[in-house]
Copies of this chain bind each other. A is one copy, B any other.
Amino acid sequence: MPAPLVVMKFGGSSVAGAERIKRVARRIVRERARGSELVVVVSAMGDTTDELLALAAAITDEPDARELDVLLATGEHQSATLMSMALQSLGVPAISLTGPQAGITTDGRYGKARIAGIDPRRVRAELAAGKVVIVAGFQGMSVAALDGLEATEPASAVHTAEITTLGRGGSDTTAVALAAQLGADRCQIYTDVKGIYSADPRIVADARQLDVVGYEEMMELAHQGAQVMQVRAVELGWVNDVVIEVLSSFEDAPGTQIREDPLVEQRNKVRGIAHDRNVAKVTLVDVPDQPGVARSVFGPLAEQGINVDMIVQNVGHGGATDLSFTIPRVELAKAKRILEPLIRDLGFRDMTTDSAVAKVSIVGAGIHNAPGYAARMFGTLADAGINIEMISTSEIRITTIIAEDRVEEAVRSLHAAFQLEQPETVEAASALAG
């Protein structure tokens, strides 16, 4: 039987400083002692990425996306080399590879590239040589288009190669993509929490760790503010059927598996409460109730890369309507600059904004089968005297916008109302749903 291949990914807080790197290295050595072949993906150390962004910001307000990608990618180069040194100092053969060296190619969109393919030859050659392969996460290679230089020309392939990064949390995507390409037996995402919880344990004291979460549930949880995993990495795992384990870098304890969950239909219950404070609400008042207005508003925002999340349009009154939507709070100033000139052009009466709001969601694959959940959610918030400003729903999620200063109370009330502190059993879940 060939040795099992395990992809292990360690996030920034797991490799923040020499001591933590050495601790992680010891953990890797333990895994190797079980006879596994190992590919280890690392993020940049601790706050490195933020420090590099601050440096760029001290130089210019609008750093070039290509240059920023080369700058940020150095963070992962550093942690990968240090991890390799730590393993070598423990007597384990290891080698660090940059994203390009690991054969990871991207679609070339700086700052938010998607992985286009992986040429696994170098990784396989290093594994075959008996090494633990450390891959710098968050990055890959695209090819510069240059007049007079053919990208496919052998001698120039190296120096037309461009570094592109995958966006925040992109190391998760690196790990899952490598696991898929290499046909890894396991894909482990090590973090500073023990797994996926029924709610943020810093807010809900009796939040429970979940053993299994379905891909779709995890995507909604991640999208609604649970910061454990990058949404795209979960999506990639789903498409490629990679079982992802989320577990603690610092404790030897079982984590949470993200996988196709055969019990979803039987569970049929709320799995977790997610919340997100990086939200601002924009309301356009008395928007003319005409075709094309929505496009005139959301088109320019999309062009400037602002993700609009929830959109609510109230019933028209006298030929005009109020249009509300949410965006990441960090984008509010930019959105105002884009929208203000439109007020006159499109004939709004006014624009109001509110950055003291937050999202609270209940997520569970069974929600769409059970209308009672919406009522229970809204009733719980009403009982707590929390006003709901906006609502949106999906097949497996109900999201509300509330005042930010009520968010912890809302999360705790909902956690209790849906009895998420209780151990999950299929029987109990069925009983609850019935």
Which residues from B are CB-within-8-Å of A86?
59-60
Interface with B: A2-10, A99-107, A241-249, A326-334, which one? A99-107
Complex contact B62–A89 (CB within 8 A)? yes
Contact between chains at A22 and B77 (CB < 8 Å): no
A122–B63 touching, CB < 8 Å = no
Residue of B74, B81, B102, B154 touching A67 (CB-CB under 8 A): B81
**Are A122 and B146 in contact, with the CB atoms below 8 A?**
yes
Tell me whether A156 and B119 are in contact in the complex, defined as CB-CB below 8 angstroms, given that A59-B82, A82-B56 are known contacts. yes
Q: Are B101 and A22 in contact (CB under 8 A)?
A: no
Name the segment of A158-166, A273-281, A350-358 touching the other chain. Answer: A158-166
Kindly state whether residue A416 has any CB partner on chain B within 8 Å: no
**Cα distance, A80 to B59, chains bound together (Å):** 12
Of B62, B81, B158, the contact of A158 (CB 8 Å cutoff) = B158
A67 touches B55 (CB 8 A): no
Measured CB to CB, the nearest residue on chain B to A148 is B125
Q: Does A88 sit at the interface, judged by CB under 8 A?
A: yes
Interchain CA distance A153-B97 in the complex, whole Å: 19
Shortest distance in angstroms between A43's beta carbon and chain B's nearest beta carbon? 15
What's the number of copies of this chain in the assembled complex? 2
Complex Cα spacing A291 to B243, Å: 69
* CB of A183, distance to nearest CB on chain B (Å): 18
Q: Contact: B159 with A97, CB < 8 Å?
A: yes
Q: How far is the CA of A129 from the CA of B145 in the complex (A)?
A: 12
Most buried by B among A22, A81, A82, A125: A81
Which residue of the partner chain B has the closest CB to A70? B81
The smallest C-beta distance from A401 to any residue of chain B, in angstroms, reads 37
Cβ of A121 within 8 Å of any chain B Cβ, yes or no, is: yes
Please pick, from B62, B68, B148, B152, the residue contacting A121 in the complex, using a CB distance under 8 A: B148
Q: Give the complex CA separation of A62 and B82 in angstroms.
A: 12
Minimum C-beta distance from A410 to chain B (A): 42
Q: Distance in Å from the Cβ of A187 to the closest Cβ of chain B?
A: 21
Chain B CB within 8 A of A223 CB: no
Q: Which of B21, B55, B125, B147 contacts A59 (CB 8 A)?
A: B21
Residues 28-62 of A contacting B (Cβ, < 8 Å)? 52, 55-56, 58-62
Q: How far is the CA of A77 from the CA of B100 in the complex (A)?
A: 15
- Judge whether A121 and B159 touch: CB under 8 Å: yes
Q: Which of B84, B156, B159 contacts A64 (CB 8 A)?
A: B84
> Counting CB contacts under 8 A, is A155 at the interface?
yes
**Chain B residues within 8 Å of A74, by CB:** 74, 77-78
In the complex the two chains form, is B60's CB within 8 Å of A88's CB?
yes
Interchain CB contact under 8 A, A85 and B97: no
- List 18 contacting pairs A-B, 8 Å CB cutoff, sorted by A: A59-B89, A63-B85, A64-B88, A66-B95, A67-B82, A71-B77, A73-B77, A74-B77, A74-B78, A77-B77, A101-B158, A121-B148, A122-B146, A126-B146, A128-B148, A129-B147, A152-B154, A155-B157
Taking A103-B159, A119-B159, A122-B160 as given, write out 7 further A-B residue pairs in contact, using a Cβ cutoff of 8 Å, ordered by the A residue number: A60-B88, A67-B85, A67-B95, A71-B81, A74-B78, A121-B156, A157-B158
